[in-house]
Structure 1
Amino acid sequence: MALLLALLMGIGVWGVFAGIRMYRADAKLPTDLALALEVGATRTGAVDSLVDRLGMRYAPAVLRLMGPKQVARYRRKIDLAGNPGGLTIDRYAARRAVYGALGGVGGLIFLLQGNVLMTLLLFAFGAFWTEVGIWSAIRIRKDVIERTLPDFLDVLAVVVSAGLGFRQALDRVASRYEGPWADEIRITLRQMDLGMSRRQAFAELRRRNDSEQVAMFVTALQQGEELGAPIVDTLVALAKDMRRTDAQNARRKAARAVPKATMMITTFMVPATMLLLAAGLILGSGTDFGTITGE
């Protein structure tokens, strides 16, 4: 057992020094992997950049193990997350390789020491840490877009009613906003500049965002274009519907929060308060427990 533990520790130390040597050597990577390493490099932190550089050479092997269907599914997840920190499918595979190796080696070391809890935690870290980051980014991005969209539509309606064309108004309003929704509008406009039809560009916008409000926006625009409805009226009505939906969602969240708060109070606060009151009464009464217990 001690020999196996020493062997694992030696492999871990060798891996650390090998990784540092690879990082400093700036080894040549294939063109596609080198490009993936550079995409969004200015938007990622030092730790993620180091992890990407260490794991990029193993990214193709991870992608092969994942298979085409899972790669396509994770590519869509990364798109829904808005490529946080310049994340691409290759960078995701690199991080999964590094975190998986760290979690696996650390889990084996603690398993040999008999620490089952740390073993499970490290195995879970290696398997799910990258997914946790993507899942969190998807939720945050969706919330930001849905908060921004109603105000964006109001401003867009005002600009269109002032006489600008719809496409020019989109460009003007998007330039005044920051965040994921403004980025999505700029991507859509760029696709239209490259020759994509407006209908297809907005369909791609809907595909990139798993949001009911974005789907409502795209559907309303396409239906208004088909029926010839005034775009200003469509935008104003859509903004009102979105705010009404937000209010309903807020009421539903509040309604779900009440039972949770009640359960927390009845489970923890009420028993703790009763114990505190009982202890105060007993201590304040000056009761001699020795006479009761016969000691």
Structure 2
Amino acid sequence: MVALSAGIAAALLFVVFFRGYTQLRADPLGHLSEADRDLIKAPVKKRQRASLLTKFGQWLGPSISGLMGRSYYDFISRRVMYARSDQFADASDFFAMKARLLLIFGVGALAVGSIADNYLAAFLIAVIGFFLPDLVLRAAGQRRQAMIEEGLPDFLDVLSVTVSAGLSFRGALDRVIERTEGPLAEEMETTLQQMDVGTSRYDAFHALKERTDSQAMEAFVTSLMQAEDLGSPLVESLEQISTDVRQSRAQKARQVAAKASPKIASVVTLIMVPGTLVLMLASMFLVADFDFDLLFGDGGF
């Protein structure tokens, strides 16, 4: 009886050991789908604690926004929409950065004013720190809008070819967006998403025109809406719009070149001509071997 009990206990221990070893080697996520497994195994980003400088910007930013007025806030909101920069998610981030830079440059201005006793330089440093985010935002917006204007003609050419292949305008737009990168593709994708949730084509493209500060995009949206209202063939309309955009870009390039000519002439007049005169006079003195002792010596003036 004792031997039988010991045998049963040993068998149970073996079964428990085997079961535990099997569970240890098994994948605990094996019963889940691939999507659920990827979601669970995805690395969890730790929440970063905001620094004191960031908290200061978040605290003072709304005060600066209220001090500058509603019109300035709307202007910055539109500029942020044009730029879509990683530095400024919205106008609140812009004013928070303005507050941080104002603190940093303000400390530098106080140091310059107290140590060097130069209050004009201190004032200029504070002004630069206050308006530096405006310059950064403006440069980012101009760069992004220039990329949109540059890529629009080629985008329209590919879109017209895709539509002529038999796809609908919406399907062709989706197909071209998948194979295009850059700000233009991002704006078009946003427009397509608005159309997917029920926004009409007119409203979606009107919102596209409002989100950009590009004359080429405005001409494209206007011509597209006119073609849709008049019932013109879409392929011919896209080709014509692409041609008009290229002509507009060429005209704009000629205008920029015409404005650059007076600037170059002024630079030549103010810098190169005086420099050339100084070089010529210095060469004349060196070649003539002029005796400066005769002029500035004891017997001279």
- Normalised to the residue count of structure 1, the TM-score between the two structures is 0.78
Cross-structure match for 1:279: 282
Cross-structure match for 2:24: none
Cross-structure match for 1:95: 97
* 8 Å Cα contact 1:51-1:95 kept in structure 2: no
1:231-259 CA distance string (max 9 Å, x none): 11111111111111111111111111111
For residue 287 of structure 1, give the secondary structure of its aligned residue in structure 2: coil
Partner Cα distance (1:119, 1:238) in 2: 52
Partner Cα distance (1:201, 1:144) in 2: 21
Cross-structure match for 1:123: 126
Do structure 1's residue 235 and structure 2's residue 238 form an aligned pair? yes
* 8 Å Cα contact 1:51-1:94 kept in structure 2: no
1:165-202 CA distance string (max 9 Å, x none): 10111111112111111100011011111121111010
* 8 Å Cα contact 1:192-1:198 kept in structure 2: yes
Q: CA RMSD in A?
A: 2.2
Pick closer, same or farther for the CA change 1:86–1:177 going to 2, 3 Å. Answer: farther
Do structure 1's residue 26 and structure 2's residue 49 form an aligned pair? yes
Cross-structure match for 2:258: 255
**Regions of 4+ moved over 6 Å:** none
Look at both structures and tell me which one has the larger radius of gyration over its CA atoms.
Answer: 2
For residue 237 of structure 1, give the secondary structure of its aligned residue in structure 2: helix
Partner Cα distance (2:103, 2:290) in 1: 62
Matches of residues 1-295 of structure 1 in structure 2 within 5 Å?
Answer: 26=49, 52=54, 55-113=57-115, 114-293=117-296, 294-295=299-300
Partner Cα distance (1:255, 1:69) in 2: 34
Segments of structure 2 that go 5 or more residues without pairing to the other structure are: 1-46
* Percent of aligned positions that are identical: 40
Partner Cα distance (2:285, 2:61) in 1: 66
Segments of structure 1 that go 5 or more residues without pairing to the other structure are: 1-23, 28-48
1:246-281 CA distance string (max 9 Å, x none): 111111111111111111112111211121122112
**Is the helix fraction higher in 1 or 2?**
1
C-alpha displacement of 1:65 = 3.5
C-alpha displacement of 1:134 = 0.8
- More off after superposition, 98-107 vs 160-169: 98-107
- More off after superposition, 187-196 vs 120-129: 120-129
- More off after superposition, 85-94 vs 177-186: 85-94
Pick closer, same or farther for the CA change 1:69–1:248 going to 2, 3 Å. Answer: closer
C-alpha displacement of 1:59 = 3.5
Partner Cα distance (1:133, 1:76) in 2: 14
Pick closer, same or farther for the CA change 1:25–1:238 going to 2, 3 Å. Answer: closer
* 8 Å Cα contact 1:99-1:125 kept in structure 2: no
Pick closer, same or farther for the CA change 1:145–1:159 going to 2, 3 Å. Answer: same
C-alpha displacement of 1:88 = 1.4
Pick closer, same or farther for the CA change 1:102–1:242 going to 2, 3 Å. Answer: same
- Normalised to the residue count of structure 2, the TM-score between the two structures is 0.77
For residue 87 of structure 1, give the secondary structure of its aligned residue in structure 2: coil
Counterpart residue type for residue 175 of structure 1: E
